[in-house]
Chain A
Amino acid sequence: MSKEIPLWEVFIRSKNGLEHRHCGSLHAEDAEMALNNARDVYTRRNEGVSIWVVESKHITASNPQDSGELFEPAADKVYRHPTFYELPDELKHM
């Protein structure tokens, strides 16, 4: 058998209340082992309270060549940000 061992992406929640964040990848033959390995590799110093693993091949990524049409149109929509709106100074909190 010469099939290569699948690659997994690891996401760790460092404490409750925070989101899972990508922290790296590793190899494992199955999901159970990927979880165990992630625990042993990425939480040796108390880094996590919860782990997600997903096989890398299941991730669909946007293409950098498309980043112009994907992300630049958002840049000029200034009205989406609170600072766009001018309000009198007397109004303290809004």
Chain B
Amino acid sequence: MKPIRELNPQFLESKENKQHLIDYLLGVADNYLILAQRLGELCGHGPNLEPDIAITNISLDLLGQVRSFYQYISQIKGDGSTEDDIAFLRKEREYRSVLLVQQPNTDFAYVIARQFFFDVFNKMFLNALQQSADETLRALAFKGIKEASYHERFSGDWLKRLGDGTEESHDKAQKAVNDLWVFTDELFQVNESDSAMIDAGVAPDMLQLREYYYEKVENLLTEATLEVPEVPYFQKGGKNGLHSEYMGYILAEMQYMQRTYPNSKW
């Protein structure tokens, strides 16, 4: 992790830097958006009232995060586009969310495993982002880290309960972990914009934390009496706009109002 250095004020005057920063931020924020959307589907359908409320809280935290990031993007863009334009009016290939967060709520085990894989990453990421050369991002990271820590605790605790609960829950948890494992590596994928931002000290180099991530995840899986899957090949693509087939449906639903009634205020 690089020490904090302040961003050169001229940095954003370069059109190229600006575009890289925007792309980079979308790569972060789109994950929050799509995961919040997925969790929002569950509201009112949880296994009991208490976990229902808890999962909605996570969704609300992520929505809060994504709004802050999009507001920052629209500020950088400076072309009058709003957080909602960014959230709702892009085409599918323009979204930068990883495949993991697009995966459906197949059952509670998938919801928890998906969340846990994401939360461990997100907490490490926000922790590192507090060293960013960009002041706004430092502030966003500082605020987000507390929420992310709680999320990780919640999903980790639940994964242990499911893994080490009944035989049925163990099997379901193992299946979810197996199915979602192939999407974890994409979290660490570095594209051109990421590299540019890492070089500028804006973005943390998450690849350096990759080993630590898997160590943490594997420790908890073991504690949950679950086996660590072995996959010969990891799936990726979402970060570069090559999404799962789920994505189109997520967007069709999410964008429905904005597309049907363009240029309206809500």
Contacts and interface: CB of A to CB of B under 8 A. Distances in A.
Which interface class (under 10, 10 to 19, 20 to 34, 35 or more) fits A?
A: 10 to 19
B57 A29 contact: no
A37 B161 contact: no
B50 A44 contact: no
A31 to B, nearest CB: 11
A41 B157 contact: no
A1 B161 CA distance: 15
Interface string B140-160: 000000000010011001000
Interface residues of B, number: 13
Nearest to B51: A37
Contact of A37 (B50, B150, B153, B166): B50
Contacts of B150: 39
A54 interface: no
A11 B154 CA distance: 21
Interface string A69-92: 000000000000000000000000
Interface string A23-37: 000111100110011
Given A5-B48, A27-B48, A33 B157 contact: yes
A66 interface: no
A44 B57 CA distance: 8
Given A1-B166, A27-B50, A39-B150, 5 more contacts: A33-B50, A33-B157, A36-B153, A37-B51, A41-B53
15 contacts: A1-B166, A5-B48, A26-B50, A27-B50, A29-B161, A33-B50, A36-B54, A37-B51, A37-B54, A39-B150, A40-B53, A40-B57, A41-B50, A41-B53, A44-B57
Interface of A: 1, 5, 26-29, 32-33, 36-37, 39-41, 44
